[in-house]
Amino acid sequence: MGKLSSRIVASMPWLDGASELLKNVGAPVFGLDKPRELRDLLYGVWLGHPLHPVIVTGPIGFWSASALFDALGEEKAADLMLKAGTVTALGAAATGLAQWQDTQEMETPKRMGTLHALINVSATTCYAVSWMCRDKGKRGQGLTFSIAGMSLATIGAWFGGDLAYDLGIGVNRQAFSEPADEWTDVAQEDELEENTPKRVEVTGIPVMLIKQNGAIYAIEATCTHVGGPLDEGKLDGHLVTCPWHESVFDVRTGVCLHGPATMGCHSYDVRVQAGTIAVKPAPLAL
């Protein structure tokens, strides 16, 4: 909480009201009762990590190129780049809203994400006005608005960077788990009940054991999204749903099937000897 950005949003309680409005804007698409296909597309489940940081390179790159071409006096190229950046900013907004939607119980990320969004919407608005001015031949005004847009986008990027790298939004919550690469005894086979998850620890890492049709599976029990306890989630066949934000994982492989999580869980090989269950990190799939 010592970061300047965190102190700034802590001093802005009015962001809570703005957050509620923003959440309501996203609810028709990102509500938990809405179709998963579009949500998973915007989360980046298919990509294996959040889509938002990929998409934001569009407006950043195009607007930066526009500023360079403006400085070189290449008006047509500058205008084309500005328009491309403004259009791709819409995709950045959609994927950013997807990633932010499930931070409502976390005050600082919720507020900072809201401020990040408001600043970037303002930046995009400035570029849109610059677009109109340039098309009307008012180049001086267009340049003024594009400079304002770049300034706001830079500030917005600062808050976005702190969201990811200071607060860990979008970061794999299993990224720093380092299980020992050896067989570790964790439980007795008779302790497991069919289709009833059991939480154990392997060198300090929470692991979920599950017995299904005589087979025993093991995956890390921390949801990769924001750390929900998968062992407390709902089971449906081989699928477990995180109790916090309803990300879905395959208990056999740890693969993420539905977001908002975008990265799979670490999985473990399992062996049973003389009734004792031991686990070992499974090799990474190629």
**The pLDDT of residue 181 is above 50:** yes
- Cα 64 from Cα 60, distance rounded (Å): 6
pTM, two decimal places: 0.89
Tell me the CATH number for domain 184-281. Answer: 2.102.10.10
Answer for the pair 269, 279: CB distance below 8 angstroms, yes or no.
Answer: yes
Query: Which band of pLDDT confidence, cut at 50, 70 and 90, is reported for residue 285?
Result: low
**The pLDDT of residue 40 is above 70:** yes
Amino acid 29: pLDDT: 87
Burial of 255 per CB tally in 10 Å (0-12, 13-18, 19+): middle
What is the average pLDDT value for the chain, to the nearest integer?
93
> Of 43, 284, 33, 2, whose CA–CA distance to 169 is shortest?
43
- Cα 40 from Cα 229, distance rounded (Å): 21
Q: What is the pLDDT of residues 41-65, one digit of tens each?
A: 999 999 999 999 999 999 999 999 9
Answer for the pair 228, 250: CB distance below 8 angstroms, yes or no.
Answer: no
Which of helix, strand or coil describes residue 151?
A: helix
Cβ neighbours of 234 (radius 10 Å):
11
Q: What is the pLDDT of residues 216-264, one digit of tens each?
A: 999 999 999 999 999 999 999 999 999 999 999 999 999 999 999 999 9
